[in-house]
Chain A
Amino acid sequence: MATTTAAVTLTSDLLSDNMSVSASTTCMKAGTTADGLDMMEYGYVDIASGTAYDIIGNTPTANKATKLYIKNHSTDETYYISIVLDAQAVGRLYGGDWMFIPTDFHDANADVEITATGGTNKICYALFHEGTTLVAS
């Protein structure tokens, strides 16, 4: 079985006592307890400001346990990318920010769309999934 593990450590001093949370998960295929995600796409792209792009070219199979990591590697903290799924604005990743989310690509419009602002943003992404429909040449 392929094994993909994602761990996070979150700390904050915004509360009266320091908060520290750690979690780790092994990314399994949808509905299984013994079969891990076994395909991935990993990339690093420059995104010029102003135009919306789909970050994932070949849409994975819908309604699975797909996981998506995106980091904005821009060093200018005023640069950001806007994340939109199926016309729903989700949020922004400023320079240095990352996200890790499940994505279910539930229909043909449910692509992960990003739009850069401020200048050319440098984006790293990794998609862990269990199948995709490749585009015939």
Chain B
Amino acid sequence: MATTATISISSDIAPGFGGISETMTLTQAGTLTDIDSTTGFAIRKLSAASVVDLVTMANELVEPKDSVAAKIYIRNIGYKGVIDKSVHVLIGVKSEPIGRLYGGDWMMMPLTCIDADDVTATPETADTVVLEYVLFYEEA
């Protein structure tokens, strides 16, 4: 079965935009071989408006190979079934802000997996929010 990710985007912003529907099979860099490692699915509860490491690369039990084809999926699932689309968690890599995941928003992003390039999360407020995430990578 491998690891696959399918995206579907629909929008009525631009007349005539037919939407996007694409599937990718996660493979090892430069090959058609399936990607072979994952952190597994995890959740992280955040209750302070301060930056934390969502993924600390140097602490992964199975060392990821650097600068290849890793991907991370992250979703802001709110807290106890309440999803506030007006409040965000800022996702970053190392010290660089990437963007804001509002309640219910999800992202799929490639990663270098270099030890210094941790994935960070900074809630906008101290209200409790939960992120779910899974990292797919190649074993070093």
A binding-site residues for B, Cβ under 8 Å: 2-15, 18-19, 21, 23, 25-28, 30-33, 37-40, 42, 63-69, 71, 77-78, 80, 83, 85-94, 96-104, 106, 110, 126, 128
B binding-site residues for A, Cβ under 8 Å: 1-14, 17, 20, 22, 24-27, 29-32, 35-38, 40-41, 67-71, 73, 75, 84-88, 90-91, 93-102, 104-112, 114, 117, 134, 136
B111 touches A96 (CB 8 A): no
Chain A contact surface mostly: strand
Closest Cβ neighbor of A92 among chain B residues:
B110
B99 touches A8 (CB 8 A): no
User: Which residues of B lie under 8 Å from residue A15 when comparing CB positions?
Assistant: 38, 40-41
14 contacts between A and B (CB under 8 A): A6-B7, A11-B1, A12-B4, A15-B40, A23-B75, A23-B104, A27-B105, A69-B7, A85-B98, A88-B95, A90-B109, A92-B29, A94-B30, A96-B24
- The tally of CB-CB contacts under 8 A between chains A and B is 207
A88 touches B96 (CB 8 A): yes
With A7-B7, A8-B73: A98-B108 Cβ-Cβ less than 8 Å: yes
User: Which residues of A lie under 8 Å from residue B84 when comparing CB positions?
Assistant: 33
User: Which residues of A lie under 8 Å from residue B24 when comparing CB positions?
Assistant: 71, 96-98
User: Which residues of B lie under 8 Å from residue A128 when comparing CB positions?
Assistant: 11, 13
Within the complex, which residue of B38, B69, B98 is in contact with A92, where a contact is CB–CB below 8 Å?
A: B69
Bound complex: CA A78 to CA B33 (Å) = 12
Closest Cβ neighbor of B21 among chain A residues:
A7
Looking at the assembled complex, report how far the CB atom of B20 sits from the nearest CB atom of chain A, in whole angstroms. Answer: 6
Bound complex: CA A5 to CA B22 (Å) = 14
Closest Cβ neighbor of A5 among chain B residues:
B10
Closest Cβ neighbor of B11 among chain A residues:
A4
Bound complex: CA A8 to CA B132 (Å) = 14
Within the complex, which residue of B69, B94, B117, B134 is in contact with A97, where a contact is CB–CB below 8 Å?
A: B69
User: Which residues of A lie under 8 Å from residue B75 when comparing CB positions?
Assistant: 23
User: Which residues of A lie under 8 Å from residue B7 when comparing CB positions?
Assistant: 6-8, 69, 98, 100
A12 touches B8 (CB 8 A): no
Looking at the assembled complex, report how far the CB atom of A92 sits from the nearest CB atom of chain B, in whole angstroms. Answer: 5
Looking at the assembled complex, report how far the CB atom of B139 sits from the nearest CB atom of chain A, in whole angstroms. Answer: 11
Top 10 closest pairs, chain A to chain B, by CB:
A91-B110, A102-B99, A88-B96, A4-B11, A12-B3, A13-B1, A78-B30, A103-B99, A91-B111, A25-B104
